[in-house]
Each structure stands twice: as C-alpha cells, then as structure tokens.
Chain A
C-alpha cells in the first residue's frame, strides 16, 4: 500500500504527454477530514453575561415546564403543558386542543418562521448565538468541561499530556457529568407526554413503558453526541439555517462584525508606542481563542459564525487594556461599515419595509389564532352518510337513508343534546336506541370531553336523485348548536 496506485499515466517527456494529475490518488488527498479540536477560552463581558442569563432561562423553561400544575377539575390531567397522545389531547394551561384542531400548530409554525425571519432582519443570527438548543447545550457542556479540565491552556495541556491517573480521572468525570446532563435532557422530554410525577416514579421503579426508556436513550445519545462531541460541526455540516440565513439577512441587519476600517493594518503593539498610521487590532488572537466555532471573525461574515458575540467580549477586554475604545468587534451592519469608510454618520434602521412586513404578518397570524381560540366552539357535529346501501326502499314506498352522527362534546361536562334534521320536505328522524321529543327531535347524551356516535335513519317520500339536507345538534341546556350538511339519495316510485 506504500506505492500510490495511479490509473492515469504519469507525464512523459514526449509530444503525447499531457498535464494530468491523479487527483484522487491516495497521496493527493485525504478522503476524510479529522476534526480539529477547539478549546474556547472563557471571556467576561456583557455578551457572556447575556448568554449565561439566556442559558439559565431557557434550560429552566425546558426542565421545569412539565412540573407546572394547572387545575382542570376532577378526573382531568392537572399538568399545565401536556401532550397526551393516548387520549388525543393537547393541554396548554387553559387551552385544550383535540386532534382535529391540529391546525393551530400550523399557526404556531408560521409564527415561529416569521419570528426567526424578523429576528434575522433585525439582529442577524441571534437565534443561533443565544437560543438554539445546540448552542445552549454546547455552552453548558463547555462549562462542565472548563469546570473539570480548566480553561483553554489547561485543556490543551491535558489533551497533549500522556495518559495518567489524573487525566483519566478528569476525563471520566467530565464524560460522566455529560452523560448525566444528557440523560436528564432525555428524561425531561418524556415528561411532556405524560403526568410528570407519575412518570418520574415509574421511570425509577422500572414501571415505565419501553417507548419511554427508548426515547430517553435516544435523546441521551443525541444530546451527548451533539453537544459533547459534535458541537460546531452540527452548525457547519448539518444545520440548514446557516444556508437559509444568507438569504434572510440584509445589509441593514446587525451581525457580529470586525470593523476592518478601524482595525487594519493590524500588528503587534508595544506599550506606549504610537497608534498613528496603524489599525487598532494588535493581532493578539484573543477573538480566535474565544470562538467556540473555531473561526477568525476578522475574515468577515462566514457560514460557521453563530454570532454568539463572545469575540466582542474578548476584544473589548483587550481594547480596554491597551487604552483604545471598545467596539473593534461589535454588532454592526454592512451599510454602516461602508458609511464609516466614506466618513458618513452611522445609521441604524430597525424599521424597514421588510421588518414592518414581518411584524404585521406576525400580528395578523397571532390575532387570527387568538380570535379562533377565544371563539372556539365546544360542540361540533360530523355526519357520515352510509354508502352501502346508498338508500333503502321501504314497504310503504318511502326511502330511507342512514347516517352516523358524531356528536363532539369538547366541554368538560356531560351534555344533553337534541338532534334535528331539515332542508328536506317530509323527512323524519328515526333511531332505534334514542328517545324522541314531541317535535320529532332525537335526544342523545354526550359524555364530558368525548365523541358520541349516534346512528340515525332519515325517512322521506321517494324522490329521484340526490337532495341536500342538514343535521343540527342543540345543547338542551345552553342552546349552543352545530350544523352539518349531507345528502339524501333516492329513487322515485310511481
């Protein structure tokens, strides 16, 4: 395997010789790129503080939400946020949704999409830098790593050192805590799908279902792998957002920017030396050391940059020490970089047609959703017409059609309902198992929070073809009603 296999003949010194190189030969290239380890250095500053705060809030929301209680009355789940697949219900505090109302999720997704577009237009990749779970958990994992192995230099030394009892101990401790956090992450996830206290007890006593343990195992693995070992590779190789972001951002959007107009020409600076004729960048590489993505922000906008702003904190610290103004690296817009270069005043334009459009759309979608939610009916009717047989001829010459009515009672109390039919001359309702009132309406009961199936027959004088008719259900106590149309088929007799 030492001699490279070359399929293309090597160039010979004659007129047939062509300039060809075996580009895929083993010697020419490595097929697989090994990950270069990154050792982000701890920085202090306003953005680091903001990121700690964001991390605390987001992790708290994730871990604690399933434990919030919300009283819905006897016999109903008291978990504030619960996705109950078994019973087909989604609970969110005072909101309860049925499977047929899943379109609310469409609204939420539209809001989420518009929200991230708006954020991108205003603040660039603020989602990536502060709120993305990949960023939050990676930050948490790096915090643990730093706690056990020390900061950047100590970690680099430790990795370079030969294996020893101390190194083994630290590495074991780090991975153990990582796995613990990963398991807690997977564990918290399943609590959204069942009663958290019950599930917690079941998990530790081995009573929980296979799907619970499997979900925890999968999420433990993905958390550990993505936040512990994959880190920035998720952003650079796997995530579509950096690619989409390029289309969503514009020249007015803020993004973490190295102000080359101020920094260049860069170079080492001796204390007390003059700043005249040179840039403010002293080429100390602190911004590179701080970067969790392993890039140099001075190369300009790049796909790998998640705009976490840690390089801003690192650079501000240095600028303060060398006595230059802060903000050599700062949140800035492309337009302002150009304007400063031309000597014009900077201009921040958060209100632009683009942001107005996003904001208006978001308000509209939110308003529609709120309106739908506030006027949500607690009664609904679905009519399923029997197709086989399409109709039945009776001995007296009339025609009968059969229907299955689904009486949906979305309220937490049992209700008495009257069923009536209309729109078809001479039609009357018959049902074998339900009493009828003096107006010919069928009486049915719907249990709390459930669907009642009522099979009804409609008998009408014979007529050719398809007629329209409607069914209506009326709550006998509060008068709430729902209607649904259907068809009546028949064939005339003489």
Chain B
C-alpha cells in the first residue's frame, strides 16, 4: 500500500494514496446533496421519535404524540370486519336449507367462515379437512354415526357427544370382555362374525367356524343396537358394521379390542361457545366436505333455524 497520493492524469484529481493490486482510488469529494440527504435522515429519525412509539422505558415506552398503536389498529380492524360481516352472519342464521342451496354467495361465506372455525377448534381431533384419526370420526366420508344431514350435523355440534348437555348425543357400547359379559372365546367369535359382515370389503378373511359361533352371540348381545344385519342405527348412535370404515381401527386385534373394552369418545357441546350462525357455518362446512346427506324427508321442519322446536313435532307423530 503506497502512502503517497499522486495526481491522476485523466481526471486531474488527486488519488487517496491507497492502492490495491494496482488499483488506485480517486479522492473524489461526495456531492453536497448527498450530505444533505444524510442530515435529512437524521432529522427524520428525530421527528419519528416524537411522533411514533420509539424509546423503551423501564415500565413502558415513549408513546409518541400521534398515539399510534398497532394493537389498537388490529382491534379496530377486527371490529370493522365483524361489523362488515354482521349482515352475512345474520342471513346465515335466518337461512333455511333451501335458501342456502340457492345462494352461492351465502354458501361461499358459510364455507369460508366454517373452515376457519373448524381449523381453530375441530381440526385438533378430526384432522385437517375432516380426515379423522383413530377414535375420532372421519368427517369427509359418507359414513355418519349420528346422521349426515345439515340439521343432524348441527344438532351434534350443539349438544355434543357424551357431554353434560341435557340433550346430549349418548350411546354406550358395553365392555363385553372386561366386564365379564362375554367370555374370552365369545369375544373372539363375535369379532370373527363382525368381520364376516363386511367380508368382501375388508382385507380380512373371517374364520368361518368361529364366525358361525359368533353369529349366535351377535344376535343375543349386539343386534339390538347394531341391527340384525349390522346396518347400525343412527338414532341411537350405533355404527354400521357393514362397511370397511372403523372408528377404532379395522384390524382383527382392534375389532376384538373394541368388543372387549367398548371404548367411547367425547365431543364437546359447542352451544354457548359459538353463536347460532357460526354453528350453521360449521355444519355447512362439514356437510360440504363431501359426505353430506340431504335432509331426511321425515324432518319435521325444513327451517334449520327451528331445530330446537323439532321436539314437540316428533311427539305429535306416533
């Protein structure tokens, strides 16, 4: 590094005297406006300190004279959104199943808000998109324990399963093996029979002799809820045994374990936690995952909003 500055012939300007691999640096002064911009940025920083929240203090910070607050802005935006969405939620709450079927705008709204609430509250157990998990029903398929119409889904959401809600969905599968209702062999036999009901749809091949013995046990102990043919009964929450979709797993061991111990899960009651419109949106989202069923023709009132009033109507129909 040379220490000596020299005059550059081409520009007539001195070099700084520094040299790197033969490259010398001209001692060109910065333009004055550059300096002014530098001063302006310093001034802008000082103005910013005055106007905006800036300096941390032992118990807080300097708030700035403009009173800017990100937290308050977010709260304000949420409030604005809630206000803007208000009319749509109202429409959703008032809508009958027919209204919803005819109104693409309302469908889109219900789907979007349902998806958002599902993601926050339901996904933990039922999986993203209603994919389900062992013990937690798949919501995207066409198999329903308590019914897959909009009104049935909404009712399940409202009252929950095995909750302390007065109208809760409630079913109880006895622990046949653990409680000594059936012998160990009988549990094995009835499991083989259950496998034989869905034979052709499962990968499992039932043991014909055991299944034949199990058929007798099934008729005595299981048919009362699951039906003679194993079709199940949604009114009491008894799953169909005819398909190859299993809440607690479809292997031979898992089926036997369920007969043995009769596991039963819990779904919270969401009434009181969500308003009626949110429940409607959630029900619509779950219904539209793919397995939603049309309203049963025997449904007492087409208006979904009147679901709580359904009870007297059913009393009148003997």
A residues at B contact (CB < 8 Å) = 18-21, 23-24, 29-35, 230, 233, 237, 386, 388-389, 392-397, 400, 402, 432-433, 453, 455, 457, 493-494
Q: Give, as a whole number of angstroms, the nearest-CB distance from B300 to chain A.
A: 23
Q: Is the CB of B131 within 8 A of A397?
A: no
CB contact list, B28-42 vs A, under 8 A: 28-35
Please give the distance in Å from B46's CB to the nearest CB on chain A: 20
Who on chain B is nearest to A229 by CB? B33
Nearest A residue to B34, CB-CB: A32
Q: Are B288 and A31 in contact (CB under 8 A)?
A: no
Decide: A35 near B33, CB < 8 A? Known: A20-B3, A23-B5.
yes
Cβ of B17 within 8 Å of any chain A Cβ, yes or no, is yes
| Chain A residue, CB-CB nearest to B28 | A33
Contact B245 A393 (CB under 8 A): yes
Contacting residue for B31 out of A33, A432, A433, A457, CB 8 A: A33
Given contacts A33-B29, A34-B32, A35-B33, contact A392 B140 (CB under 8 A): yes
Q: Beyond A393-B245, A395-B240, A395-B243, is A35–B31 a contact (Cβ under 8 Å)?
A: yes
Q: Is the CB of A35 within 8 A of B32?
A: yes
Task: Establish whether residues A493 and B201, one from each chain, have CB atoms under 8 Å apart when the complex forms.
Answer: yes
Cβ-defined contact, B201 with A392, below 8 A: no
Q: Which residues of B contact A402 (CB under 8 A)?
A: 129, 140, 289-290
Q: Contact check, A18 vs B142: say whether CB atoms are below 8 A apart.
A: no
- With A20-B4, A34-B32 in contact, do A433 and B140 touch (Cβ < 8 Å)? no
- Out of A24, A32, A388, name the residue touching B128 (CB < 8 Å): A388
B288 touches A455 (CB 8 A): yes
Q: How far is the CA of A168 from the CA of B86 in the complex (A)?
A: 60
Partner of B17, one of A23, A397, A493: A23
Q: Tell me which residues across on chain B come within 8 A of A432, comparing CB atoms.
A: 287-288, 292
B141 and A394 form a contact (CB under 8 A): yes
Q: How large is the interface on B (under 10, 10 to 19, 20 to 34, 35 or more residues)?
A: 35 or more
Residue A494 contacts which of B28, B107, B142, B202 (CB distance < 8 angstroms)?
B202
Q: Is the CB of A453 within 8 A of B16?
A: no
Q: Are B131 and A388 in contact (CB under 8 A)?
A: yes
Pick the contact of A397: B30, B101, B244 (CB < 8 A): B244
Chain A residues within an 8 Å CB radius of B35: 32
Q: Would you call B14 an interface residue if the criterion is a C-beta within 8 Å of the partner chain's C-beta atoms?
A: yes
Q: Can you give 8 A-B contacts (C-beta < 8 A)?
A: A23-B16, A30-B29, A32-B31, A33-B28, A389-B129, A395-B245, A397-B243, A402-B290
Q: Is the CB of B243 within 8 A of A23?
A: no
Beyond the given pairs A29-B27, A389-B127, A389-B128, 6 more chain A to chain B contacts, judged by CB atoms under 8 angstroms and listed by A's residue number, are A33-B30, A33-B32, A388-B131, A392-B138, A453-B108, A455-B288
Contacts of B201 in A (CB 8 A): 396-397, 493-494
Inter-chain residue pair count (beta carbon < 8 A) = 104
Residues of A within 8 A of B297 (CB): none
B33 contacts A389, C-beta separation under 8 Å: no
Q: Decide if B67 is an interface residue (CB 8 Å cutoff).
A: no
How many whole Å from A4's CB to the nearest CB in chain B? 16
Choose one: B31, B129, B142; the contact of A388 (CB below 8 Å): B129
Taking CB atoms, residues of chain A closer than 8 Å to B16 are 23-24
What residues of B have a CB within 8 angstroms of the CB of A493 in the complex? 201-203, 244
Q: What separation, in Å, do the CA atoms of A389 and B289 have in the docked complex?
A: 10
Other-chain contact of B141, A386, A393, A453 (Cβ < 8 Å): A393
**A32 vs B27: C-alpha distance when bound (angstroms):** 11
Q: Provide the bound-state CA to CA distance between A49 and B299, in Å.
A: 87
B130 A389 Cβ-Cβ under 8 A: yes
Judged by a CB distance under 8 angstroms, whether B212 is at the interface is no
B272 at the interface (CB under 8 A from A): no
- Once bound together, how far apart are the Cα atoms of A453 and B143, in whole Å? 26
With a cutoff of 8 Å between Cβ atoms, the chain B residues found around residue A494 in the complex are: 200-203
Residue of A nearest to B200 (CB): A494
Residues in chain B near residue A433, CB distance under 8 A: 101, 104, 107, 288
What are the residues of chain B within 8 A of A35 when measuring CB–CB? 31-33
Across the two chains, which residue of chain B brings its CB closest to A397? B201
By the criterion CB–CB under 8 Å, are B127 and A388 in contact?
A: yes
In the assembly, what is the distance between CA of A455 and CA of B287, in Å?
A: 13
- Cross-chain contact A389 with B245 (CB below 8 angstroms): no
Which of B3, B29, B140, B243 is A18 in contact with, Cβ under 8 Å?
Answer: B3
A residues in contact with B290, CB < 8 Å: 392, 400, 402, 457
Looking across the interface, which residue of chain B has its beta carbon closest to that of A434?
B104
CB neighbors of A among B1-35 (8 A): 3-5, 14, 16-17, 27-35
- Of chain A, the residue at the smallest CB distance from B18 is A23
What per-residue 1/0 map shows which CB atoms of B110-126 lie under 8 Å from chain A? 01000000000000000
Complex Cα gap A425–B205 (Å): 28
Q: In angstroms, how far is the closest chain A Cβ from the Cβ of B251?
A: 14
Min Cβ gap A443→B in Å is 13
CB < 8 Å neighbour of B27 from A18, A19, A23: A23
Q: How far is the CB of B244 from chain A (nearest CB, A)?
A: 6
Q: Which residues of B contact A396 (CB under 8 A)?
A: 201, 243
Q: How far is the CB of B39 from chain A (nearest CB, A)?
A: 11
Distance in angstroms from A427 CB to nearest chain B CB is: 15
Contact between B141 and A395, CB atoms less than 8 A apart: yes
